[in-house]
Amino acid sequence: MDRLYSAWTELLAWMRSCARERGAEFVVEAHFPDAIYRLHRELQLPTTIMSASLAFPETGERFLTASVSPPWARDRGIELRIVKAHVYLHLHLEEEGLVYEGRPLTERRLCQIAAAAEKGLSPVLELA
């Protein structure tokens, strides 16, 4: 199994944890097409989730979305999107795990990003 998808699975668990902490809703947005259509090749990944979001439970409005490239993509990666701030954060996989702006992404840091996203702020300013 590819390290990227192991890191993705961990990120999804962190998102669920942040959602519980913040009273937000964790929403599965999309599954890998292979998982949906059951194509002739078997999906060899730890999850079928391709994108997910955190949303306000009252309105369902998304404030943070995350997505991972499909296994057949040439340049694979994980992206976080701060919906109201129109900011895209491209995460890179390094030896120590997922990295954003040269610093490891931890569950705590993801929850800080989610807190900024809830307010519609760029986490770049919040975490500086």
pLDDT in tens, 60-109: 999 999 999 887 778 888 999 999 988 899 998 898 899 988 889 999 99
Query: How much of the chain, in percent, has pLDDT values that exceed 90?
Result: 54
Q: What's the pTM?
A: 0.85
Which sequence spans correspond to the domains of the chain? 3-123
Can you give the pLDDT at residue 27?
94
How many angstroms separate the CA atoms of 33 and 53, rounded?
18
At 113, list the tokens: 């990003």
Average pLDDT over residues 102-118: 92
Instruction: For residue 128, name the pLDDT band (cuts at 50, 70, 90).
Output: very low
User: CA 93 from chain center: how many Å?
Assistant: 13
How many angstroms separate the CA atoms of 33 and 102, rounded?
32
Q: What CATH fold (topology level) applies to the domain 3-123?
A: Metal Transport, Frataxin; Chain A (3.30.920)
